[in-house]
A = this chain, B = another copy of it.
Amino acid sequence: MSTSSYPRARAHGLIAALGANQLPAGPRNAITDVAGVKVGHVTRQGAGVNTGVTAIVPQAGNLFAQKLTAAVDVVNGFGKSAGLVQIAELGTLETPILLSNTFAVGTCVNALVRHAVAQNPQIGRTTSTVNAVVGECNDGALSDIQAMAVTEEDARRALDIAGEAVGEGSVGAGTGMSCFGFKGGIGTASRALQIAGETRHLGALVLANFGRAGDLVLPDGRRPVPDTGADPAVAVPEGEKGSIIVVLACDIALDCHQLARVCRRAGAGIARLGAFWGNGSGDIVLGFTTQNRIPHAATSDLCAHMRLHDDRIDDLFRAAAEATQEAILNALCAARPVDGFTGVARPAFSDWLARSR
């Protein structure tokens, strides 16, 4: 992200020059390299709570009126995200995407419904209802999730303040997340591709809360194990629990079936870091393209969509896997420790990197 004051994964040498076939990152190396995409964080901390909301606003304006082509991939479905079924059926996205903790999904759905109704008063009256999309991970290890602290106002504010600079690490929905026994959270990355003579981008944003301590593999083959010292309060998770939500954005003309295939490759990026998509992990990928917008109400029976030839789709598959992998590493690099609920803590990956240099 553009405003970071910490070294990201590339600066640590974790990504650069790792193969002739790899693709360059976009200018921000963030999901906001896709024109029009904005991200906002609201962080809630205090009284045992370390949580928040992250909003991904795919495009300005009325998404319900002008839907985006979208897709999902369920890598492992131990999760409570909202809105996946309708995206899978229709291939469209009609609200911004909110990320938060598991027990905030109901509240975030309500916030998105009210947000859409405010823009489109005919919803649920003279036209259909609206499909709110919310991704979640369980931050209960570091936050009092039973407090159900996130409010509709938090969600609305995250939507309102979204911008092009993307905070990473222990921020927004990432505030209380863990990853491979380290502190996890929000990360982002992007890849630039040449399509039909133009530079296009595919960006990833992750809410990283997955991975068993000891399983992490860096691109250079190192296997960092979190140092929990003698302090029993610095607990190591026993299974591959947690979850990861991956949001992929691009400005490349795909149909929703192609986009679903692109989403599937985020799972490869997760696996390359040593994860195996554990039983208790809700590993969910949401993708959209800013091309091929679909009007809510048909003005004509047919409309012309551009469509990438599948001979070129390998570049997007590669970009999805790489950007996801790098976004997770960026989340790890950025995440500062938080004072965990009931004294649990997670060490910072950046400290491990500093020590292992």
> Which residue numbers of A lie inside 8 Å of B, CB to CB?
18-21, 74, 76-86, 88-91, 102-103, 105-110, 113-114, 117, 121, 123-125, 128-129, 131-132, 138, 140, 145-146, 148, 195-196, 212, 214-215, 217-223, 225, 239-241, 253, 255-257, 261, 264-265, 267-269, 271-272, 274-280, 282, 284, 294-295, 297-298, 300-314, 317-318, 320-321, 342
Question: Nearest chain B CB to A292's CB is how many angstroms away?
Answer: 8
Question: Nearest chain B CB to A290's CB is how many angstroms away?
Answer: 15
Question: Nearest chain B CB to A202's CB is how many angstroms away?
Answer: 12
Top 6 A-B residue pairs of the complex, sorted by shortest distance between their CB atoms? A221-B221, A77-B89, A268-B271, A298-B309, A106-B109, A106-B106
Contact between B317 and A308, CB atoms less than 8 A apart: no
Contact between A306 and B306, CB atoms less than 8 A apart: no
Our pick among B76, B117, B145, B309 for the contact of A300 (Cβ within 8 Å) is: B309
Question: Nearest chain B CB to A250's CB is how many angstroms away?
Answer: 13
Taken together as a complex, chains A and B put the C-alpha atoms of A77 and B68 apart, in Å, by 17
Residues of B within 8 A of A275 (CB): 268
Contact between B317 and A309, CB atoms less than 8 A apart: no
Our pick among B280, B305, B309, B314 for the contact of A239 (Cβ within 8 Å) is: B314
On whether A297 and B271 interact (CB within 8 A), knowing A257-B256, A277-B264, the answer reads no
Contact between B253 and A256, CB atoms less than 8 A apart: no
Pull 23 A–B residue pairs with CB atoms less than 8 Å apart, ordered by A: A18-B223, A19-B274, A76-B264, A77-B88, A79-B85, A79-B86, A80-B131, A80-B132, A82-B82, A84-B84, A123-B146, A124-B146, A125-B146, A129-B140, A196-B301, A217-B272, A239-B311, A255-B255, A264-B277, A267-B267, A278-B317, A298-B312, A305-B305
Number of copies: 4
Contact between A318 and B276, CB atoms less than 8 A apart: yes
Taken together as a complex, chains A and B put the C-alpha atoms of A279 and B265 apart, in Å, by 11
Residues of B within 8 A of A105 (CB): 82, 106, 109
Question: Nearest chain B CB to A13's CB is how many angstroms away?
Answer: 11
Q: Which residue of B lies closest to A341 (CB)?
A: B125
Question: Nearest chain B CB to A10's CB is how many angstroms away?
Answer: 16
Supply 18 further A-B pairs (C-beta < 8 A) apart from A125-B146, A195-B302.
Answer: A20-B225, A81-B85, A84-B84, A85-B284, A102-B129, A113-B148, A125-B145, A128-B280, A196-B300, A217-B219, A217-B272, A239-B314, A264-B277, A265-B277, A267-B271, A276-B314, A280-B314, A298-B312
Question: Nearest chain B CB to A222's CB is how many angstroms away?
Answer: 7
Taken together as a complex, chains A and B put the C-alpha atoms of A138 and B214 apart, in Å, by 38
On whether A214 and B145 interact (CB within 8 A), knowing A79-B86, A90-B78, A103-B113, the answer reads no
Taken together as a complex, chains A and B put the C-alpha atoms of A20 and B226 apart, in Å, by 12
